[in-house]
Amino acid sequence: MTRTRLSQYWHPVAVAAEVGDGPVRASLLGGHVALFRSGGELRAFNDVCLHRGAALSLGTVRDGRIVCPYHGWEYDASGACVRIPALPPDRPIPTRARAVTYHVAEAYGLVWVALEDPVAPIPGMPGDVHLDPAYNGEVFSVLDWATSAGRSTENSMDVSHFPFVHANLLGDPEHPEQEPYALHEREWGLEFRVEDQFWRSSDGSFETRIDYDYVQWFPFTMHLRFADGDRITVVTVIASPTEARRTRVFRVVHRNHPADRDQFVREYLHILEQDRIVVESVRPEEIPADLRAELHIKVPDLASIAYRRWLATVDTMGLAEV
Ligand code: FES
Ligand SMILES: [Fe+2]
Q: How far, CA to CA in Å, does 55 sit from each of 104, 123, 136, 204?
A: 19, 30, 37, 50
* Residues in contact with 321: Cβ distance below 8 Å, sequence separation at least 6, in sequence order: none
Which of the ligands is closest to the CA of residue 47? 1
Mutating to test ligand 1, I would choose from 70, 82, 87, 98 the residue with most ligand atoms within 8 A of its C-beta, which is 70
For 126-315, the fitting CATH number among 3.90.1300.10, 2.40.50.140, 3.40.50.150, 3.90.380.10 is 3.90.380.10
Ligand having the closest approach to the CA of 277: 2
Q: Check: CB of residue 93 under 8 Å from CB of residue 34.
A: no
Ligand nearest to the CA of 160: 2
> What type of residue sits at position 147?
T
Residues in a beta bridge with 236? 223, 252
Nearest alpha carbon, ligand 1 atom 4 = 71
Q: Whose CA is nearest to atom 3 of ligand 1?
A: 71
- Write the DSSP string, 170-237: TB-TT--------EEE-SSEEEEEEEEEEEE-TTSS-EEEEEEEEEEETTTEEEEEEEETTEEEEEEE
The closest alpha carbon to 51, from 74, 26, 78, 22, belongs to 74
Q: Could you give the 3-state DSSP secondary structure of residue 319? A: coil
**Topology of domain 4-114, CATH:** Rieske Iron-sulfur Protein (2.102.10)
The alpha-carbon radius of gyration of the chain (Å, integer) is: 22
For ligand 1, the distance from its centroid to the CA atom of residue 27, given in whole angstroms, is 20
**Contacts of 232 by beta carbon, 8 Å cutoff, 6+ apart:** 129, 135, 225, 226, 255, 256, 257
Q: Where are the domains of the chain?
A: 4-114, 126-315
C-alpha 176, offset from chain centre: 29
Q: Which residues are CB-neighbours of 55 under 8 A, at least 6 positions away?
A: 25, 32, 34, 47, 48, 49, 69
Q: pLDDT of the chain along its 322 residues, tens only?
A: 678 999 999 999 999 999 998 999 999 999 999 999 999 999 999 999 999 999 999 999 999 999 999 999 999 999 999 999 999 989 999 999 999 999 999 999 999 999 999 999 999 999 999 999 999 999 999 999 999 999 999 999 999 999 999 999 999 999 999 999 999 999 999 999 999 999 998 888 888 999 999 999 999 999 999 998 999 999 999 999 999 999 999 999 999 998 899 999 999 999 999 999 999 999 999 999 889 999 999 889 999 999 999 998 998 644 544 3
The amino acid sitting at 321 is: E
Ligand 1 atom at minimal distance to the Cα of residue 53: 1
Among candidate residues 192, 207, 204, 198, the one with its CA nearest the CA of residue 163: 198
**CA angle 108–109–111, rounded 5-degree value:** 100
Q: Are 56 and 89 in contact (CB under 8 A)?
A: no
